[in-house]
Structure 1
Amino acid sequence: MVNVSKGTKLTLQEFLALPEGDVIYEFVDGQAVPKVSPKYFHSTLQSALWVLIGAWCRGRGRIVLEWAVLLQHNGQDWAPVPDLTYISYERLPASWKRNEACPAIPEWVIEIISPDQTLKQFEDKAKDYFAAGISRVWVVDPEPMDIWVFLPNGTIQAYTDTMPIVDTLFPGLELTTRQIFEQAELI
């Protein structure tokens, strides 16, 4: 068994061979870094987004919860585990059915801020996602009920209440922060 204690360096192959368990890890700078344990707001928002986006993406792609994505970060292997990942069938065909990390670069990832995390941390992570080829990053902030949409050109847009979130990358998808938080039964 591979040691995942703090400071232990792993190869990507060793990381991917870790057994599934109660702790979810991301692979960052050669180390298995545990993700924050989700609380109620996080879990219900994750489920709400999965339901709402899942209805839109049928026939277009897949939306997946807590799925490791194989990327590069500063010239090194990187396997983040976004809260939600959308990848089109153009990038990963519907026929792909393997029990492994996402082998292609998804179009969109969504992260939900936990109580001990900051928006600044996710701004930095969004830059890393863009450098790896991801086209959109959403960050959901449960306490003020905001959704931040990050674009590769550095633009950041905050969405609140009934302001529609519309994106040419996702034709036909229109969501509002209120709709998402109502689906999560948080308002």
Structure 2
Amino acid sequence: MILQAKNQLTLQEFLNLPTGEGDITYELVDGQAILKMSPKKFHSKLTRALLNFIEQCCEDKGEVCPELAVALTRRGRDWMPIPDILYISNERLPPDWNQEGVCSVPPDLVIEIISPGQTFGQMAAKAKDYLDAKVLRVWVLDSKARSITVFYPDAAPQTYMGEELITDSLFEGLEFTVEQVFQKAKIPLDAQ
């Protein structure tokens, strides 16, 4: 769903729009306010499991936030996506960052979980947009394939499945498997 505007919205105009009722959240894409799909049960459980793994690795090294809007630029225009999870290292956090405001710097890591109605291709294109906006890593979790694909700014994407160990030089000490994420989320193999 698109919140129609006569003109293309700037970031400031978007931020000045009245808030939606209840759980209604919008992202700014190509000058339009686009409705973000509300997470369902498996999506929420996977988000919580991933948050636990990232927080264990990155504790005291930065901020890990679910569903935090980030102000970026996409194809030369204001863009404000709301990733499922983002991590910003202390090195990237501005000293005057307002904890209640929109994230104003590109995060180190963005994690997107494919929702019903979304495709891997759409998420891969979004991952490229994140990387072009100076995000250092993008992970796309595909619950149907039970995989995590890691997108890099300077290398081909890598897909992890099952018991393959996910490690990354950007996140010292981070080690887990995709299957551990699904086990922690308590999502059985036949749940899709």
Q: Aligned partner of 1:69: which letter?
A: V
For 2:61 and 2:161, how far apart are their aligned partners in 1?
Answer: 27
Task: Quote the residue 1:108 is aligned against.
Answer: 109
Q: How many residues align?
A: 184
Task: Quote the residue 2:168 is aligned against.
Answer: 167
Q: Residues 111 and 141 of structure 2 are in contact (CA less than 8 Å); yes or no, is this contact kept in structure 1?
A: yes
SS in 2 for 1:180: helix
CA positional deviation for 1:20: 5.4
Structure 1: which 5+ residue stretches go unaligned? none
For 1:38 and 1:71, how far apart are their aligned partners in 2?
Answer: 23
Q: Residues 61 and 94 of structure 1 are in contact (CA less than 8 Å); yes or no, is this contact kept in structure 2?
A: no
For 1:130 and 1:96, how far apart are their aligned partners in 2?
Answer: 22
Task: Quote the residue 1:134 is aligned against.
Answer: 135
Moved more, 8-17 or 23-32: 8-17
Identity level (%): 47
TM-score, length-normalised on structure 2? 0.89
Task: Quote the residue 2:81 is aligned against.
Answer: 80
Moved more, 15-24 or 89-98: 89-98
Task: Quote the residue 1:37 is aligned against.
Answer: 38
For 2:89 and 2:56, how far apart are their aligned partners in 1?
Answer: 14
CA positional deviation for 1:94: 7.5
Q: Aligned partner of 1:5: which letter?
A: L
Query: CA deviation digits over 1:57-114, x for unaligned, max 9?
Result: 1110111001111111111111111100010011115874431100111111000001
Task: Quote the residue 1:6 is aligned against.
Answer: 4
Query: CA deviation digits over 1:99-148, x for unaligned, max 9?
Result: 11001111110000012110000111111111110110000011121111
CA positional deviation for 1:7: 5.0
- 1:22-101 → structure 2 map (5 Å cutoff): 22-92=23-93, 96-101=97-102
TM-score, length-normalised on structure 1? 0.92
Structure 2: which 5+ residue stretches go unaligned? none
Q: Residues 38 and 114 of structure 1 are in contact (CA less than 8 Å); yes or no, is this contact kept in structure 2?
A: yes
Moved more, 93-102 or 115-124: 93-102
Relative distance call for 1:65 and 1:88 in structure 2 (3 A) is: same
For 2:99 and 2:166, how far apart are their aligned partners in 1?
Answer: 32
For 2:35 and 2:83, how far apart are their aligned partners in 1?
Answer: 12
SS in 1 for 2:44: helix
Give runs of ≥4 in structure 1 deviating > 3 Å. 6-9, 93-97
CA positional deviation for 1:51: 1.5
